[in-house]
């Protein structure tokens, strides 16, 4: 089964993306499957499903640290395959396109609900620190700027990918934002009231995978006695892998230091994600409300039994 160069290019775009959050990229992945369906030249239902499966498998492993891409694509493919048993080629094509639209809509609705819950945790005069771009956190802080007075946001540069610049650009239109280097997070944490970050994955053991530097921020917050919230939809909960099994996606060393500036013996590492233990987290805000660390473990165990 051949995949068109255009579709492969879109998959590579997701794999190489350095600025968008996991939820956005998951929706982008479903859009790729929708486009595949719209432009499919398959002449049988079986060929159509093989095409969707081939593209879907590439998408599921394009960003191994980001659980929602795998989860959203896997569930989408399962729904399409199940419907195909009772539909002809034209019908399954139309179903696939409409299903993609619904999956994307459901994800956006989940984020809107999280933003509502998250903004409710913020009070007038609060100063919130964030790190590593998250569309969910940005939506929450935009809602908070609209609802509360005199709040401020501190955002870090957020690693080699510099996604913090995007946070500052978007939120700077709504209220005061302070932009700092990652190394300064320990200095500024005591000036904050709360920390709010997103997540790329909540692992089966409850630990959080997010942009590199999140663990240091969680340690600094604990030391300063600052509440630390993770905001993410339940689509990011992964019952398949524990934290020690996750690929943290090491990227090009040149993002850390120019080639040739260090002696050949010096190893340069550039991981894009790190792992934050559950005991450093106040709670996870989902579309279903706030989950405490104890509730997160219980939720993961129940889902693991259900899926098993």
Rounded-to-integer distance, Cα 13 and Cα 41, Å: 23
Single out the catalytic residue among 12, 17, 124, 200.
200
Closest C-alpha among 201, 27, 11, 198 to residue 105? 27
Burial of 130 (0-12, 13-18, 19+ CB in 10 A): buried
Burial 30-59 (b: 16+ CB within 10 A, else e): bbbbbbbbeebebeebeebbebbeebbebb
The rounded distance, in Å, linking the Cα atoms of 210 and 284 is 13
Active site residue 90: no
Decide if 191 contacts 185 (C-beta within 8 A): no
Q: What stretches of 86-202 show up as alpha helix (H) in DSSP?
A: 89-119, 135-147, 164-171, 185-188
- Which residue numbers are catalytic? 200
């Amino acid at each position: 089964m051949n995949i068109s160069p255009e579709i492969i290019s879109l998959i590579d775009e997701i794999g190489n993306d350095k600025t968008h959050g996991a939820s956005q990229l998951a929706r982008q992945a479903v859009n790729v499957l929708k486009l595949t369906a719209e432009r499919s030249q398959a002449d049988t239902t079986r060929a159509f499903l093989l095409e969707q499966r081939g593209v879907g498998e590439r998408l599921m492993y394009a960003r191994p640290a980001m659980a929602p891409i795998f989860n959203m694509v896997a569930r989408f493919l399962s729904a399409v395959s199940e419907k195909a048993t009772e539909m002809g080629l034209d019908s399954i094509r139309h179903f696939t396109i409409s299903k993609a639209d619904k999956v994307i809509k459901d994800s956006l609705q989940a984020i809107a609900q999280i933003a509502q819950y998250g903004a409710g945790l913020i009070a007038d005069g609060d100063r919130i620190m964030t790190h590593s771009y998250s569309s969910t956190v940005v939506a929450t802080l935009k809602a908070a700027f609209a609802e509360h007075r005199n709040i401020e946001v501190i955002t870090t540069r957020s690693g080699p990918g510099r996604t913090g610049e995007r946070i500052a650009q978007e939120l700077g239109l709504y209220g005061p934002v302070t932009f700092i280097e990652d190394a300064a997070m320990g200095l500024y944490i005591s000036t904050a009231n709360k920390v709010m970050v997103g997540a790329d994955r909540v692992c089966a053991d409850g630990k959080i995978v997010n942009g590199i530097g999140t663990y240091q921020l969680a340690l600094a917050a604990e030391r300063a006695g600052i509440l630390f919230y993770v905001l993410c939809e339940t689509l990011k909960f992964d019952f398949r892998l524990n934290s020690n099994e996750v690929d943290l996606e090491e990227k090009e060393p040149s993002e850390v230091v120019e080639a040739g500036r260090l002696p050949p013996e010096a190893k340069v590492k550039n991981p894009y994600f790190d792992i934050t233990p559950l005991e450093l987290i106040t709670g996870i805000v989902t579309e279903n409300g706030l989950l405490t660390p104890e509730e997160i473990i219980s939720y993961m165990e129940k889902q693991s039994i259900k899926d098993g």
